[in-house]
Amino acid sequence: MSKGNATKLLGAATLGLMVAALFMVFVYAPAEATQGDVQRIFYFHVPLAWVAFAAFAITAVAGLFYLWLGYPVFDQLAYAAAEAGVVFCTLVLVTGSLWARPIWGTWWTWDSRLTSTFILWLLYVGYLALRAALADGEQGARMGAVFGLVAAADVPVVVVSVRLWRTIHPAVLVTREGSHGLADARMVATLLVSMVAVTAVFGWLLALRVATLRAEARLRGLAAELLALERASEEN
């Protein structure tokens, strides 16, 4: 199977998963007893957060491999994952604010998890700004790899923030009853399907972006070769 067909197949599977997830979120899953229908944002908020963290982890690991082996594909993977991670992290902050307004009575509060997530978003926006400011090449790739490794240190801080500091942000519970837990098996199933669907969206976008970056690199290489041939012909 060609790469193009594989990407189309992944896109079709992603579309099917998203349709199934939307049906389960808005039809299949029952309303939460305390929060009502507004709690349905949870089924988007949590998967988006998981994917954002996974994307930044990929950026760090791919950057490490680039520093070690020097293969451009690792830099392209790190860059693409960071771009997708910023998009998903932005959606995490937006959905969190939409959920917070009716539950907490405010769009934003400097809670430990919210603050650490916002810092994570700023770090990777900085990563993208750094890559945009530097010319394409080995120097920009190496500096981006180092920056991505350092920025990824905030991911575990975000994950454990609700346990390390006082926080009003709930932990995600799927094994016991409670106002922030998933007491109904249908709610657990809906969360799992949403996690798979959002992860598939990320994988599809990542594959498309890496393919685009590789094509751009090949075009730059061909342009450089053509320029070298033109200069050689002029000298002769």
pLDDT digits (tens, 9 = 90+) for 98-128: 988 888 888 888 888 888 899 999 999 999 9
* Reported confidence tier of residue 216, pLDDT bands at 50, 70, 90: confident
51, 59, 195, 223 from 54: Cα distances, Å: 5, 9, 12, 35
One-letter amino acid for residue 205 of the chain: L
pLDDT at res. 1: 59
- The pLDDT > 90 percentage for the chain reads 55
pLDDT at res. 177: 43
- For residue 89, being part of any structural domain is answered with yes
Backbone torsions φ then ψ of 128, nearest 5 degrees = -65, -35
Domain range for 220: 17-22+38-235
- For residue 159, being part of any structural domain is answered with yes
100, 163, 173 from 118: Cα distances, Å: 15, 18, 23
pLDDT at res. 125: 96
Q: How many CA atoms lie within 13 A of 161 on its CB side?
A: 22
pTM summary value: 0.85
- 51 close to 87: Cβ distance less than 8 angstroms: no
Angstrom distance (rounded) from CA 144 to CA 82: 10
- For residue 72, being part of any structural domain is answered with yes
- For residue 171, being part of any structural domain is answered with yes
Segment 156-169 shows an average pLDDT of 69
- For residue 56, being part of any structural domain is answered with yes
Token pair 């959905």 is found at: 95
- For residue 4, being part of any structural domain is answered with no
- The pLDDT > 70 percentage for the chain reads 86
* Reported confidence tier of residue 55, pLDDT bands at 50, 70, 90: very high
One-letter amino acid for residue 73 of the chain: V
Highest mean pLDDT among 20-24, 38-42, 102-106, 111-115: 20-24
- For residue 33, being part of any structural domain is answered with no
Domain count, the chain: 1
- For residue 30, being part of any structural domain is answered with no
